[in-house]
Amino acid sequence: MDELKRKKYLHKILPYLLSFPSMVIIVLFLIIPLVYCLYCSFWRCDYMDFSKFVGLKNYIDVFSKEATITSLLVSLKISIVSLVIAIIIGTLLALWINSANGRFAYILEIMILIPWVTSQVVAAMLWKWLLKDETGLINYIVQQLGHEPIGFLSDKNIAVVSLIIVITWRVIGYVMVQLVAGLKAIPKEYDEAAMIDGVNKWQMFWFVRLPQLKTPMAISAIIVALSNLNNLTVPLTLTGGGPGNATTVISILAYRESFSYYHFGEASAMSIALCIMNFILTVAYVKAVKYEI
């Protein structure tokens, strides 16, 4: 009898035991840091020394500075432009791959995905080498075509464009993969029914396929927006925030505030602001994702 009771008890707590290790890791390394960061953002915390409770002063200080607002706008601009381009090109590529067949489609898919799987440091570094002003390969080609060399990384306006290009280059593959999977999941009957109704290619895409692609499109848009908004590595490596402050995105500002000036209170305030944006995107992600549990 006791044996049976013990077994029943074990059966009851087993799922909690099995979940425990993962939950410890997630709570300890993802949830608690955020809470701690929120706490720090209310303190003056230079060099990790909690000297004074200052309430909302860090937030007011940070967001009354022009530099913060500018960098926030730069971040948003870069993320949104990159997102739009990535979604458009990604969709076109996905439609193409979906209509191609077999080996060719697979090779294409792998090739388009390569930028997403390579590290951002490596990618940004290699692009920097291509885009260099004096000795870069691209400027050599530009000159061969009879044009003045372009200051890809040294001109204020063009540097932003270069950054957008590199960031977009990285994420297109991700969008493409999501949409190819989405297209593959559309039942064949839909296409056939539409064909019998005599729709043209455009109608086929707009009325038959696009509505079915809502979920993959939403998910890829959310992930790409998040990934771009939080991208610290590529701007840091490619332009270092320059020239001037042209490409100083909010993540670079927070990074500098903490690891160059050691103002952890202000940096926390900035991180929390970034986290709020992330949180909104995260809620959207949880709503969009399909799951059964």
Partner 1 sequence: MKYKITAKVFSFIGFVCIAVVNLVPFVWGLLTSLKPTREVAKYPPTLFGSEITPEHYISVLRGSFSTALINSVIYSIFAIILGILCAILIAYALTRYKFRGKKFIFMMILFGIPLSMGSAAMVVPNYMMFSALNMTNKFYTLPLIYTAYNLPMAIWIMVGGMQSIPYSIEEAAMIDGASRRYIIFRLIPHLSLPTISCAALMIFIGAWNEYQVSSVMVASNSLYPIQVSIYNYIGYFGQEWGPLTAATTLAVVPILIVFTWLGKYLVSGLTAGSVKG
Residue 40 near partner 1 by CB under 8 A: yes
Residue 58 near partner 1 by CB under 8 A: no
Residue 34 near partner 1 by CB under 8 A: yes
Sole binder of partner 1 in the list 60, 69, 137, 193 (CB under 8 A)? 137
Judged by CB under 8 A, the stretch of 20-28, 78-86, 155-163, 202-210 that binds partner 1 is 20-28
Residues 6+ apart with CB under 8 A from 258: 264, 267
Task: Please give the residues from 84 up to 123 whose contact with partner 1 meets the rule CB under 8 A.
Answer: 93, 96, 100, 106, 108-115, 117-123
Minimum Å gap between C-beta 206 and partner 1 is 20
CA distance readout (Å), 184 to 115, 155, 216: 23, 43, 11
- Contact of 269 with 41, CB cutoff 8 Å: yes
Q: How far apart are CA 2 and CA 75, in angstroms?
A: 63
Site string for partner 1, 180-199 (x = CB under 8 A): -xx-xx--------------
Burial code of 143-153, b = ≥16 C-beta within 10 A, e = fewer?
eeeeeeebbbb
Minimum Å gap between C-beta 196 and partner 1 is 22
Minimum Å gap between C-beta 269 and partner 1 is 10
Residue 258 near partner 1 by CB under 8 A: yes
Backbone angles phi, psi at 263, to 5 degrees: -90, 80
